[in-house]
Structure 1
């Protein structure tokens, strides 16, 4: 999997369309959000508030991307 500025993308599978469109890996995004929340809590418990804020922002970004994906799936 590549970690791109747009987020994580799934590797191409044998059954995927042959276009150049990257597939959103929702499992990786979910893991990223959970991991960032856990790390934010860990940093906050050690009074490293700047690092906790960065991880909280990372978690919120992942959750927003998951919500956008869900809205796109419902609209389709």
Structure 2
């Protein structure tokens, strides 16, 4: 498995594209992804499926990092 991320390593969130770039950021979709992943993590944790809860928590954090990165980009353009 040469393409796996080493355990314990957290990659920084990539900066989202804005306006004139080819991949615009859908903030509503990112927010929805974060909320849904948090809800699913809670659901899995309540059923003692901690591995799935951890995966969903990581997915939620990834979405939140992307939102934060977008916020930093927007603040630097203001």
Secondary structure in 2 aligned to 1:23?
coil
Query: Aligned residues, how many?
Result: 60
Query: Counterpart in 2 of 1:24?
Result: 25
Deviation for aligned residue 1:22: 1.1
Query: Counterpart in 1 of 2:37?
Result: 36
Could you tell me which runs of 5 or more consecutive residues in structure 2 were left unpaired when the two chains were aligned: 1-13
Name the TM-score, length of structure 1 as normaliser: 0.74
Name the TM-score, length of structure 2 as normaliser: 0.72
Q: In angstroms, what is the RMSD of aligned CA positions?
A: 1.7
Deviation for aligned residue 1:33: 0.1
- What do residues 26-66 of structure 1 show as CA deviations (whole Å, max 9, x unaligned)? 10000000000000000000000000000000000000000
Between Structure 1 and Structure 2, the one with more strand by share is 1
Secondary structure in 1 aligned to 2:23?
coil
Deviation for aligned residue 1:70: 0.3
Question: Which structure carries more relative contact order (alpha carbon 8 Å, separation 6+)?
Answer: 2
